[in-house]
Structure 1
Amino acid sequence: MPSIRAGLQDIQQRIEAAAVEAGRDPASIRLIAVSKTKPAGMIREAFDAGHSLFGESYLQEFLEKRTDPLLEGLPIEWHFIGHLQSNKVRSVIGKVSLIHGIDKISTARELSRQALRQNLHADYLLEVNTSGESTKYGMAEDEVLSAAETLFTLPSITLRGLMNIASPDEASARNEFRRLRQLLKQLREVAPNPEELSELSMGMSGDFESAVMEGATMIRVGTAIFGARCLR
């Protein structure tokens, strides 16, 4: 298996190539190294290779990693990219730069409540189920605009954009990425502060180039950097 450094370099080169093909600035796309189930040593190896943005999905595992002696105190930008239940919000707020997996108004309300309670501010993305699969989390596409009226008014939190997990089929995934981009455009048209809505978190190891072609500002790649998923 190639080294983590080589994996990061390969992904960055592919991001740049896809961006150039799409007529985009490669610097407008950020790579989130998905480090869930990976030990602190592998994250440190990626950090030492020059990468500082990591995504975690399991709360307890994340809380343990951020205080691991190998990682504690490093200028790491953590994103929480997994599904976040309302009763776990209080434990993650203030510890990550961006929460990707908010998929209900009730969870956004709890995020706001906890931010106020802890005198903090939280940025988040709304997860949208573009594939329509019942096994995936996310708000239905036709619910997003109606929910926005409430989401925009919640204090101490800011909606920064949208995220999805696309279908495994390449053609379907490309279409879902395109729809998510169009949905973000619609959101911006009704937002009181449209400049705050700038992020599209979409694309993973198997489909990130299509996501870049359709406007992704963040891609989430784990396997292509760290190798096969470790058992928890």
Structure 2
Amino acid sequence: MPLQDIKARISAAESAAGRQLGSTRLIAVSKVQPNERVEAVLEQGHRCFGENRVQEAAGKWPAFRERFDAIDLHLIGPLQTNKARQAMELCNAIHSVDRLKLVNTLARLAQERGACPDLFIQVNTGEEEQKAGVLPMDADGFVTECRALDLPIRGLMCIPPVDEEPALHFALLAKIAARNGLDGLSMGMSADFETAIALGATHVRVGSAIFGDRAPARP
């Protein structure tokens, strides 16, 4: 089964890197996947999933949570400030904290709710104009500003440019995290998660290798 194959590859990558087995969290990226595929993975006992859009997550996961316990839901796509409250209610972690306006909104809502999901700061390691994320040169200051608002910053996240060697970006993210005392590294996807694990990933985001190609969006 694809899920068990991926888990075996994760364990092998951890072993090869001299890391503790089980130290990498597998986020099964269920965005744009039919419910029956997601349910099949849930039936195999997996509980950690990733969604790109709050609206899609809201239409899918409340029903699953009524039937399956201990679901650990991560938002891995861009978050609009007007969706922040809903995201905080739905998700256990948000991986796309990328601007001060969002940070201030999350801090206000966290005070109102008395709780906040784990947060990952997205770093635009490739400095791509079309991609969200804090620039590497601004990351240290951004971490400091988040901490000043008592937000639970768990770590950093990146999505390397498609045409560049991902290891360079994973190593850069790990360096930024280390100097800021952060141990969470959300990096690595279906094509490169083993490289990410070798460079310290604590969370890998794997979709197509588990579920197959994404289902076409409904009109």
* TM-score, normalised relative to structure 2: 0.94
| Structure 2 residue aligned with 1:33 | 28
Aligned length: 216
Q: Distance in 2 between matches of 1:16 and 1:123?
A: 24
Q: 1:199 aligns with which of 166, 175, 184?
A: 184
> Which structure 1 residue ranges, 4+ long, deviate > 3 Å from structure 2?
none
Q: Does 2:50 correspond to 1:65?
A: no
Within the candidate set 205, 216, 225, 2:210 is matched to: 225
| Pair 1:182-2:175 in alignment | yes
Task: Tell whether the 8 Å contact from 1:44 to 1:71 is kept in structure 2 after alignment.
Answer: no
In the alignment, residue 174 of structure 2 is paired with which amino acid? R
User: In percent, how many aligned pairs have the same letter?
Assistant: 38
Query: Residue in 2 aligned with 1:193?
Result: none
Conserved? CA contact 1:131–1:176, under 8 Å: yes
Aligned-residue offset at 1:131: 1.5
Deviation of residue 179 (structure 1)? 0.7
Taking structure 1 as reference, are residues 73 and 153 closer, same or farther at Cα in structure 2, changes over 3 Å only?
A: farther
Structure 2 unpaired stretches of 5+ = none
- Match for residue 4 of structure 2? 9
Question: Paired residue for 2:107, among 107, 112, 115?
Answer: 112
1:122 aligns with 2:107: no
5+ residue gaps, structure 1, are 1-5, 189-196
User: 1-side partners of 2:183 and 2:90: how far apart?
Assistant: 22
Alignment pair present for 1:102 and 2:97: yes
Query: What is the CA–CA distance in structure 2 between the aligned matches of 1:150 and 1:58, rounded to whole Å?
Result: 26
Q: Is the contact between residue 94 and residue 120 of structure 1 (CA under 8 Å) also seen in structure 2?
A: no
Question: What SS class does the counterpart of residue 99 from structure 1 fall into?
Answer: strand
Q: Is the 8 A contact 1:34 1:55 kept in 2?
A: yes
Report the Cα distance in structure 1 between the residues aligned to 2:110 and 2:162, rounded to whole angstroms.
Answer: 36
AA in 1 matched with 2:190 = S
Partner of 1:210: 195
Q: 1:164 aligns with which of 133, 158, 165?
A: 158
TM-score normalized with structure 1 length: 0.89
The 3 A distance-change label for structure 1 pair 37 and 226 is same
Name the residue aligned to 1:191: none
Alpha-carbon distance between aligned partners in 2 of 1:49 and 1:102, rounded to the nearest angstrom? 31
| CA distance in 2 between partners of 1:151 and 1:221 (Å) | 28
The residue identity in structure 1 corresponding to 2:74 is H
Residues 113 and 73 (structure 1 numbering): CA distance in 2 closer, same or farther, change over 3 Å?
A: farther
Matching residue's letter, 2:143: A
More deviation, 113-122/99-108:
113-122
- What RMSD over aligned residues (CA atoms) do the two structures have, in Å? 1.4
Q: CA deviation at 1:41?
A: 1.8
